[in-house]
Structure 1
C-alpha cells in the first residue's frame, strides 16, 4: 500500500478537523480536548525556530565573510520587500473599490467581538516611531532577544556574530562547526516534529470551527470571498509575473511548497513552516546565506498577504459605515500602511494591531473591527499562506538578482525535502 504523503496527511487532518468542529459547534468540551494538542504542536515549532535561524545565519555569514556583499544583499532585499508590499496594498485597495464588499452590510446582523486587548497593544506600540523600531533592531541583550523571539534583533546579532567568526580565521572553526552541527540537528528535529503536524492541524482547525461555526461566515461572506479572490489574484498574477521575470514558475513554487502551504493555512501560523521553507529554498538552488537572511527578515518586512488584507479591510470598514473615501484619503491610507505594517512587526495579532493603528490615523471608526474579529482566524489562514509564498519567492528573486541561484535536480530535492 502506498504511503500517504505529508501533504495528504495534513489535508485529511484539516477535513476531519472541520467536520468535528462543525458537528460539535458551540460545545466547550471540544475546545478543552483539542486546544492542548494544537498548542503542543505550535510550541514544538516555536521551540526550534530560534536555534535554526541563529545557527543557519551564523554558518551562512561566516562562510561568506564579506560585510560589503552582505550589505548589498540587505539593501536589495529591503528594496524588493518595499516594492512588493506596496503593490500588495494597492491591489487590496483596488479590490475593495471594485467589489465593494462592505456596501450594504447590515451591521445589526453581525456579532461583535471584544477587541480591547488589541486596543491596549496598539496604544503601547503607537508611542514607538519607525526610528525607535530601527534602533531596537540592535539588541542590548541577545539572550533576552532569543527568549522573546525578537526576530529582527536575533538576525542582527547572528549577522555580527557570523562576521566575527569569519574574521578570526582558524580560531573560529570550532565555533563554526558547533553551529553547523546545531543547524543539522535542528533540521532533523523539524522533520520529526512534522510527523505530528496532521494532529496539530486537526486540533487547531477543529477548535476554530467549533468556536465560530461555519454559519459565522455567511453575513460577511462577500468580504471572505473578496479577500480570498484578491489573494489568489495577487499570488498567481503579481507574484506570478515577478517569478516569470526571475526565470521561475509560480506554479512550480506552489507545487514545491504544497506541504508548507497546507500547514501554514491550517494553523494560521507562518512560524510553523519557517525552518522547512529555508531548507527547501536552499535545496532548489538559493545560496544558504541568502535563504537564511531573506526568509526570516521577510517575516517582519514582507507580509504580502497581511498588508493586502489590511488595505482591503480598512476600505471595507469605511464602506460598512457609509464613508466615501476620496482618492487623496486612500493614498493617505496607503502611505500610513507602508509605515505601520513594518513599524510594529512581531507584535502578537499584528494584522489587527496594524489595522487599529491605521484606522485611527486615517479617521475611520476603529469599532468596525469588532464586527470582523469573529472571522479573522478564517482570513488569517489565507493571508498566512500568501506570506509564505511571498517570502519563498523573495529568496529566489534575491538569489537570481545576485547571480547566485544554482538550479539543481528539483524533483529529487523535493522528495528529500518532503
Structure 2
C-alpha cells in the first residue's frame, strides 16, 4: 500500500511538472522550439509503451487460462459456474453500454484536436483497421507464437479459452501442476507490471508537457469534463447493480454494504480489488454466504467480472478517439467494445490493469496508443478502484446468496452457529481429542452445497 501511495504521489508531482514546463514553453518559446520539444520528449513515452507491450501476451495467457482451469470439472461446476458466467457477461455488457452512452453524449475529448503520432512513436502494436468481417476472420490464430509475438490480444484470448477449457476437462489430478505453474507465471508478470509502472511518472511528464506545450492550458478543461462524465457513468452502473442486489437481499443489502466498508477502503487506497480479497471473503461468509460458493465464485470474478474496468475502458477508448478525431463507424464501435470485453477477461484486478487492455486493443482501430498517457496523467486509477470493487462484489453477492437461497434477514452470520454445533467424532478418545478433531474437520453438508 505504501508503494502504491508513493507511485501515485510521484505521478501527481510529475504531472504538475509537465503542466508547468509545457505552459512555460507554450508561452515563451517559439514554434520551432515547441515542435522540437514535443517530438524529442516523446522518447520517454515510447519507452514506457514498449515496456507495457512487453507484458501483455504472457499476462493475458496466464491469468485467463488459470481462471478457466480453476472452474474444475463441468459436471461439478456447470450449474453454479454457468449462472455466474451469465451474470458476469450481462453486467459487463451493461457497464460497457453505460460508459459508451455517457461518453458519446458528453464528448469530453472533442476540441483537443491532437495530431496522429508519427511512426517513430509507434509501439509495435497492430494498427490495421478492423471491420466486423475482419474481426470474425481474424479471431482464430494460425499460430499462438505468432499471435503472442505480434500482441494480437483477441487471438491470445481465444487460444487461452480453448486451452483452459481443455485443461479443466482433464480434471484436477492432471491439470493441478500446470495451474500452479501458470499461477506463478501470472504473479511474476504482475510483478513485472509493477516494475514497469515506476516508469509511468516520466512518461506522464513527457506526455503532458508535450501536449500543453502545443495546445496550451485550455486542454485541462477537457480533463475535468472526462472525470465528471466518468463519475456519472460509474455511479449509474453501481446504482443498477445495487438495485439488482436489493431485489435479491431486500434491506439486507445495506447491512452488507456496511460490512464491506473495510474491503472497499483497501481497494480504494491500493487501486486493486485483489488486495481486498481476504477481507471480502471473510465478510461474505459472516453475512451468510456459503464459504464453498464464495471461495469458488470470488476468484473467478477477478477474471470475468471487472465491471468497473469495463466502464473505464469503453469511456477511455472513445475519449482517445475523440481527442485524435478518429471517426469510428457503428460496426467498428461494436467490434471494439466486444474486443475490450473479451480482452478484460484475461486481466486480473490489479492497479492500472485497464492500461494493458487499452494498449492491446485500440491500435487495431487506428486509435493512437499514445493517447492512454493523457488518461494516466489524471491518476484516476485510484478513483475507479473502489467503484470497481463495489460493482464486482454486488454481482458476487447476488450469485452467492441466490444460489444458496439464503434469507439473510432471518439467518445472518450463518456460519458461526454451524461451527458451534459440529458433529461428534466417535473416534475421538476424549473430549479434548474430539474438539481437536472438530477443528480439523472441513466444512461439509448443506453448508457447502451449491
TM over 0.5, shorter chain: yes
The answer for the alignment partner of 2:421 in structure 1 is: none
> d(CA) in 2 for partners of 1:275 and 1:362?
39
The answer for the alignment partner of 1:133 in structure 2 is: 160
TM-fit CA distance, 1:132: 1.5
TM-fit CA distance, 1:347: 9.5
The answer for the alignment partner of 2:248 in structure 1 is: 246
The answer for the alignment partner of 2:299 in structure 1 is: 296
1:155-179 deviation line (CA, Å, top 9, x unaligned): xxxxxxxxxxxxxxxxxxxxxxxxx
CA spacing shift, 1:122–1:373, aligned 2, 3 Å: farther
> d(CA) in 1 for partners of 2:154 and 2:288?
42
> d(CA) in 2 for partners of 1:134 and 1:253?
34
The answer for the alignment partner of 2:79 in structure 1 is: 72
**1:370-409 equivalence runs, <5 A:** 370-375=373-378, 378-407=379-408, 408-409=411-412
**1:205-220 equivalence runs, <5 A:** 220=223
The answer for the alignment partner of 2:371 in structure 1 is: 368
> d(CA) in 2 for partners of 1:97 and 1:251?
33
Q: Secondary structure at the match of 1:405?
A: coil
Q: Secondary structure at the match of 2:249?
A: coil
1:121-152 deviation line (CA, Å, top 9, x unaligned): 9944637433321244345534423423469x
Cα-Cα RMSD: 4.5
The answer for the alignment partner of 1:97 in structure 2 is: 104
> d(CA) in 2 for partners of 1:135 and 1:67?
14
> d(CA) in 2 for partners of 1:270 and 1:225?
23
1:53-97 deviation line (CA, Å, top 9, x unaligned): 99xx99xx9xxxx97453210111111100000111111100101
> d(CA) in 2 for partners of 1:313 and 1:246?
32
CA spacing shift, 1:122–1:262, aligned 2, 3 Å: farther
The answer for the alignment partner of 2:230 in structure 1 is: 227
Between the two proteins, the alignment pairs up a number of residues equal to 306
Structure 2: tracts of 5 or more residues without a match: 18-65, 116-120, 127-146, 168-174, 189-196, 209-216, 417-450
Q: Give the counterpart of 1:271 among 265, 271, 274.
A: 274
> d(CA) in 1 for partners of 2:303 and 2:185?
15
Q: Secondary structure at the match of 2:108?
A: coil
> d(CA) in 2 for partners of 1:97 and 1:23?
30
TM-fit CA distance, 1:399: 2.4
The answer for the alignment partner of 2:184 in structure 1 is: 147
Structure 1: tracts of 5 or more residues without a match: 1-9, 27-52, 109-113, 152-203, 414-418
Higher Rg of the two aligned structures: 2
Q: Secondary structure at the match of 2:377?
A: helix
> d(CA) in 1 for partners of 2:124 and 2:407?
47
Q: Give the counterpart of 1:82 among 80, 89, 96.
A: 89
> d(CA) in 1 for partners of 2:103 and 2:245?
25
Q: Secondary structure at the match of 2:380?
A: helix
> d(CA) in 2 for partners of 1:401 and 1:318?
40
CA spacing shift, 1:117–1:301, aligned 2, 3 Å: farther
Length-normalised TM-score, structure 2: 0.56
CA spacing shift, 1:115–1:384, aligned 2, 3 Å: farther
